[in-house]
Amino acid sequence: MKQIKSAFYDEFRCLAGACPDSCCQEWDVQVDAVSARRYLSLPGSLGDSLRQKLKQYEDGQYFLEITDRRCPMWRTDGLCEIQSQLGEEGLCTVCHEFPRLRHDYGDFVELGLELSCPEVARLILTAPPRPAAVREVPGGEEPEYDREAMGILLRSRAKALDILEKYPLPQALTLLLLFGYRAQEELDGGEAAPCDPESELALARQVAQFTGKEPLEEFYQELEILTLRWENLLHNPAPRQDWPEELRRLAMYGVERYWLQAVSDYDLVCRVKMIVASCLLVRRLGGNPVETAQLYSKEIENSAENVEAILDAAYTHPALTDRHLLGLITSLK
């Protein structure tokens, strides 16, 4: 099967005790059954500690419950007690894999990294973009996806990335949003319409509407919030006046991560809107764009409920209408 490995995948190294945020806080750690069985049978003080701290949800899923916003196995020196005693192989699947992402489509697999890790955010958002590494690896199976739809999505994703690389950022985001509709049309069985950037941008200027109402951050305030830092940012935004290059990388990361997922429900536009809105939100909230984007990812991308809520609201919420998103892009220029 074909393996597509995103740039920086092999370069990533956990910052461990030097991490400015850490994946060992704010979340309960979901422990897989194999690791849970091992933990419960460990001898000595580590086993005693895990038997005391490992809990079960009603459905039987094991987890380590955060205490004072921290994983109970996280030591004050910033290291993990399990890892320090059992080595990396002793970690449960979630801790072992984070922040690595794996999307297995059957006959090809994509390996990526999650932006909610500060080190990944630094790598992905600050380094010049690099192509993914493609190679053949053993394994694979007959894919279940719609081959025609996947073909359209793969081609259109490459074009979307090309748009993002080629144009100044406000225009790139505008063209990305409009191109999402063209790719959707093709996905729905229509013809691939030629794309003329000049007329697309002229159309966007006509459609754009910025009233100053329904600010984007108010929509995100309605979602599930994990940290006080995020809540404060949403209530006290400091909009930037510039378009930092990190936002281009953020959009590219979003396209790489979410575009192909439309093969599951044939809905590409809602994902494109989510990507464009993420860039606009990070810009509106201000601060260091790498830090704000990492926090965005932690709060939004790592919550299946929040992602679902955004995809559901993409066609209905006033903050996410095309007019409003285009209005935000043009008014903030």
- Residue numbers at the binding site for ligand SF4 (CB under 6 A): 14-16, 19, 21-23, 98-99, 117-119
Closest CB to ligand SF4 among residues 119, 322:
119
Q: Find out whether the peptide bond into 318 is cis, omega within 30 degrees of 0.
A: no
C-alpha to C-alpha distance for 333 and 27, rounded to whole angstroms:
37
Task: Fill in the DSSP letter of residue 129.
Answer: P
Residue 32: HSE in the Cβ half-sphere, 13 Å Cα cutoff:
10
* Residue 319, token pair as written in the block: 């903050």
Kindly state the smallest distance separating residue 20's Cβ from ligand SF4, in Å: 8
CA distances 128 to 124, 125, 255, 280, Å, are 8, 8, 16, 21
Kindly state the smallest distance separating residue 238's Cβ from ligand SF4, in Å: 25
Kindly state the smallest distance separating residue 84's Cβ from ligand SF4, in Å: 14
3-class SS of residue 177: helix
Closest CB to ligand SF4 among residues 72, 118:
118
Closest CB to ligand SF4 among residues 1, 19:
19
Phi, psi values for residue 195, rounded to 5°: -115, 115
Kindly state the smallest distance separating residue 15's Cβ from ligand SF4, in Å: 4
Residues 6+ apart with CB under 8 A from 144: 106
C-alpha to C-alpha distance for 1 and 69, rounded to whole angstroms:
41
Kindly state the smallest distance separating residue 292's Cβ from ligand SF4, in Å: 16
Kindly state the smallest distance separating residue 161's Cβ from ligand SF4, in Å: 25
Closest CB to ligand SF4 among residues 7, 208:
7
Closest CB to ligand SF4 among residues 98, 179:
98
By C-alpha distance, which of 91, 82, 94, 80 is closest to 47? 82
Closest CB to ligand SF4 among residues 17, 190:
17
